[in-house]
Amino acid sequence: MSLFEEYAERLAELSGIEFQDEVCARLYHSILGFQTVPSKPQGDAGLDGFSHGGKHGYCCYGLENNPLATNKQRENAIVKKFKSDLRRLFELEPKNKKLVHTESPEMSKILPKGTKLEYIELIANWFDSHRVLSPILTAVGEYKLVSKCSYLVGFKLCLANKF
């Protein structure tokens, strides 16, 4: 087994904030200008890090390691988490079974002034099912129609667990 494969296996074993911290550390050492987004004092607005002057965003999810969980439960957890992060980036909140634009008080304090995200990478420690793709990508299409896209433009999305 190569060192890269061994690292990927160990990374996949991490969950929660440990996974997010390790992914951000790896991105920091791999991408010039990578910036983590601390969740203090008022939350990270759904963004765990950004690079390319604020044009590329990164959202991490370290699914809890539960050997009893089914693939369906893992799929649902990943879809739920990333849809939640994306709603926050699109500045949307569910209200009366509809999505409504709700300005983010934190995004203007995170991204450089006048910058909009063009690309977002969703990074998970488990991605063994293509069934997470359609629900997340379909949600992005719906979110684009409702959002004012104050912090997003020309949006592209990638879901990965290997980087």
Q: In 3-state terms, what secondary structure has residue 54?
A: helix
The four Cα atoms 128, 130, 124, 162 give a dihedral, to 10 degrees, of 70
Beta strands in the chain (DSSP E): 35-36, 49-51, 56-61, 92-95, 98-101, 117-124, 152-160
Give dist(CA 159, CA 156) in Å, integer: 10
pTM exceeds cut of 0.85:
yes
Residues 6+ apart with CB under 8 A from 108: none
pLDDT at 39 over 90: no
Q: State the total domains in the chain.
A: 1
Distances (CA, A) of 155 to 19, 50, 54, 56: 25, 14, 13, 10
Beta strands in 45-108 (DSSP E): 49-51, 56-61, 92-95, 98-101
**Which two structure tokens, joined as six digits, stand for 43?**
């939350």
Judge residue 46's burial from the number of C-beta atoms within 10 Å of its C-beta, 0-12 exposed, 13-18 middle, 19 or more buried: buried
Pairing of strands 152-160, 117-124: parallel
Give the residue numbers spanning the domain of 106: 3-160
Give dist(CA 27, CA 34) in Å, integer: 7
pLDDT at 163 over 50: no
Give dist(CA 19, CA 39) in Å, integer: 15
pLDDT at 93 over 90: yes
Q: What is the mean pLDDT of the chain?
A: 90
Q: Residue 69 — pLDDT band, cuts 50, 70, 90?
A: very high
The more confident residue out of 12 and 52 is 52
